[in-house]
Amino acid sequence: MKVKIDRMDHQGRGISTLNDKVVFIPNTLPGEEVDIKITRENKKYSEAKVEEYITKSIDRIELDCPYYEICGGCHLRHISYENELKYKENKIHDIIKKFTSYDTKLIKPIISNDKEYYRNKVTFHVDKQLGFYNIKSKNIVEVDRCLLVDKNINEVIEEIKNINLDNVYEIVIRSSKNLKEKMLVLKLKEKENMEYLKEQLKSFNTIITYYNKKYEVVSGSGYIYDQIGDYTYKISPDSFFQVNTDGALKLYNKVLEYLKPTKTDDVLDLYCGTGTIGIHVSKYVKSVKGVEINKYAVIDANNNKEINKIKNIEFECLDAKDVMNVKDKFSKIIIDPPRSGLDKKTIEYIRNKNVESVVYVSCDPITFARDVELLKDKYELVELTPVDMFPRTYHCEIVAYLERIKNENKR
Ligand SMILES: C[S@@+](CC[C@H](N)C(=O)[O-])C[C@H]1O[C@@H](n2cnc3c(N)ncnc32)[C@H](O)[C@@H]1O
């Protein structure tokens, strides 16, 4: 079936119509004519794959990764990085226009990052072969390298393939971009003592096995360290740590700029993870309180506080929806929620808190748009900067500055 691509959707796919139904087709660009095969049929839309390109867009570039069309880790390798940044800016403009009452003039130019080798963490699946899941099945696509993953990780893929992986179903490799340390986590089907790996895999600072929900250290300390800006962070096997280390510094510096910190500020860092944003801003403010649901992240956050000798930060393990139980007073709030955005109680808390400003870090522009609308009679969205934390994928982070409305009749 022949179709022409009209535009792109928010997941980097081309959109066309076939028999009055919308069709989403990955790896296609506006203006291209393609012969397609339907891969999934829904009531309201279909998904398809390209059988043949009849005409190609002048924006299409040569593919540089043999796994692109099967592994599903990247969505935009078929356009230049320059065009990818334009696509992401347009996407954020579209979402703000469609889902909020704000003018898109408040959106600043996107902050770019290195488009290759930026990820400090990778998960490989193992089943006879080592690689990523095929985008449409759970079959493993064997890989020798990945253009998104830190070069230090790519260098050890061959080494890992040479060990006996019969008892391993998943492998996680974490590397520290700035301190050049590497962690290997082997997830095991059966409990096994893997001491022998110490000799075989010397390039790892630490090797850890995982079986029956428990981590066991085979070699090294069980963690690695990395730096973001002036601070050092301890990374355990399951710590949340931004996967783009260089991008994280740019993101955190934007947060700092929007925070407009002063030495009298008491800041709430809500959804603080391992405390990285709070620590990053701590020297510019009077105090920071980090709130996070994951108790292991809070343990890491307290370690990070010690490592960096920070005195004016505290962490509390709490669900954000219970944040009203935190009795401290705050002048400013930073929020960095998961994709789902803010729940009703957290929105209510922020609405009633009467702080000067809110810095909202979001990895999902649609839930972000919903939340700023729910806050709009109390806080005005003043400025927003997209940050490309995940080049070659459709994902785009946002940092936004919201200011308390003094005269509530203003809007
Ligand atoms: C996008 S991460 C942000 C982490 C941190 N700000 C950083 O830059 O590394 C979101 C964090 O929110 C936490 N989280 C998820 N749901 C939560 C909830 N209901 N209450 C508090 N924290 C939550 C997650 O565990 C995760 O650490």
Question: What digits encode the pLDDT tens for the residues 157-192?
Answer: 999 999 999 999 999 999 999 999 999 999 999 999
In short, whether 317's Cβ falls inside 6 Å of ligand 1 is no
Distance CA 364, CA 273 (A): 17
Grade residue 137 by pLDDT with cuts at 50, 70 and 90: confident
Residue 338: predicted pLDDT: 95
The verdict on whether 397 is a catalytic residue reads yes
16 lines ligand 1 (CB under 6 A): no
Ligand 1 atom index nearest CA of 251 = 8
Dump pLDDT digits (tens) for 46-67.
Answer: 999 999 999 999 999 999 999 9
Determine the distance from the C-alpha atom of residue 123 to the mean position of all C-alpha atoms in its chain, rounded to a whole number: 14
Q: Which of 226, 239, 240 to mutate to test the pocket of ligand 1 (most atoms within 8 A of CB)?
A: 240
Q: How confident is the model at residue 375 (pLDDT cuts 50, 70, 90)?
A: very high
| Burial of 195 from C-beta contacts in 10 A (0-12 / 13-18 / 19+) | exposed
Dist. CA 270 → ligand 1 center (Å): 8
Is 257 a residue of the active site? Answer: no
Q: Which of 1-10, 80-89, 131-140, 146-155 is predicted with the least confidence, judged by mean pLDDT?
A: 131-140
The residue among 407 and 133 whose pLDDT is bigger is 133
Q: Looking at the predicted structure, is the pLDDT value of residue 364 above 90?
A: yes
For a mutational test of ligand 1's pocket, the pick from 293, 322, 346, 399, i.e. the residue with the most ligand atoms closer than 8 A to its C-beta, is: 293
409 has pLDDT over 60: no
What's the pTM? 0.94
Reported as a pLDDT band with limits 50, 70 and 90, residue 408 is low
37: left (phi over 0), alpha (psi -120 to 50) or beta: beta
CA of 342 to the centre of ligand 1 (A): 11
Q: Quick one: what percent of the chain has pLDDT higher than 70?
A: 99
Whether residue 271 has its Cβ less than 6 Å from ligand 1: yes
Q: What's the confidence (pLDDT) of residue 252?
A: 98
Give pLDDT tens digits for 247-293: 999 999 999 999 999 999 999 999 999 999 999 999 999 999 999 99
Q: For the CA atoms of 143, 149, 152, 158, what is the dihedral angle to 10 degrees?
A: -10
Q: How far, in Å, CA of 126 to CA of 222, rounded?
A: 22
Q: How far apart are CA 181 and CA 227, in angstroms?
A: 11
Ligand 1 contacts CB of residue 276 (under 6 A): yes
Ligand 1 centre and the CA of 131: distance in Å? 28
Asked if residue 198 has pLDDT above 80, the reply is: yes
Would you say the CB of residue 297 lies under 6 angstroms from ligand 1? yes
pLDDT at 410 over 60: no
SS3 228: strand
Residue where the block lists tokens 């898109």: 104
Average pLDDT over residues 55-83: 95
| pLDDT higher than 90, residue 411 | no
Instruction: Walk across the sheet containing 379-387 and list its strands.
Output: 313-317, 287-292, 266-270, 332-335, 357-362, 397-404, 379-387
251 lines ligand 1 (CB under 6 A): no
pLDDT, residue 35, reads: 97
Determine whether 308 is exposed, middle or buried from the number of CB atoms within 10 Å of its CB (0-12, 13-18, 19+).
middle
Q: CA dist 402 to 165, 355, 356, 388, Å?
A: 50, 10, 9, 21
Residue 234 confidence (pLDDT) above 80 = yes
Span 397-408, average pLDDT: 91
Indicate the angle between helix axes 365-375 and 81-99, nearest 10 degrees: 30
Per-residue buried b or exposed e for 81-102, using 16+ beta carbons within 10 Å of the residue's own CB: bebbbebbbebbeebbeebbeb
Choice among 71, 146, 272, 363 that is catalytic: 363
What is the residue whose two structure tokens read 């139980």? 325
DSSP string, 181-203: -EEEEEEESS----TTHHHH-TT
Arithmetic mean of pLDDT over the chain: 95
The span from the CA of 98 to the CA of 389, in Å, is: 23
Cβ atoms 48, 25 nearer than 8 A: yes
Q: Which of 89, 181, 380, 397 is catalytic?
A: 397
Q: How confident is the model at residue 296 (pLDDT cuts 50, 70, 90)?
A: confident
Instruction: Give the position, in ligand 1's atom list, of the atom nearest the Cα of 269.
Output: 6
Domains of the chain: 2-60 (2.40.50.140), 86-114+244-404 (3.40.50.150), 121-225 (2.40.50.1070)
What is the rounded distance in angstroms from the CA atom of residue 258 to the CA atom of residue 168? 45
C-beta of 380 in contact with ligand 1 (< 6 A): no
Q: Does residue 396 carry a pLDDT above 70? A: yes
DSSP sequence for 248-269: HHHHHHHHHHHH---TT-EEEE
